[in-house]
Amino acid sequence: MSQDNLIKLKSKGDDNGKGKGHIIYTKKNKKTHKDRLSLKKYNPIANAHTVYEETK
């Protein structure tokens, strides 16, 4: 797996802040997506879907 395309996504947590800071890694095509990525993924700590945003 090439690490050139890997990005780090950090959870913002649910409404109460549960699950904040959970980290997942995913791939991103940097040629077509210049801006920061934001996805709604399942957070096992919060036991719900939360927003994950790209970090450095």
Give the CATH number of the domain where residue 30 resides: 2.20.28.120
Query: Does any domain span residue 10?
Result: yes
User: Which tens digits make up the pLDDT trace of 1-56?
Assistant: 566 789 999 999 988 889 999 999 999 988 888 899 999 999 999 999 999 999 97
Query: Does any domain span residue 1?
Result: no
Q: Among 7, 34, 10, which Cα is nearest to 21's?
A: 10
* d(C-alpha 30, C-alpha 15), whole Å: 31
* d(C-alpha 11, C-alpha 36), whole Å: 14
Residue ranges making up the domain that contains 49: 6-55
Phi, psi of 51 (to 5 degrees): -85, 130
Find out whether 52 and 25 touch, Cβ atoms under 8 Å.
no
Helices and strands in the chain: count of H runs, count of E runs = 0, 4
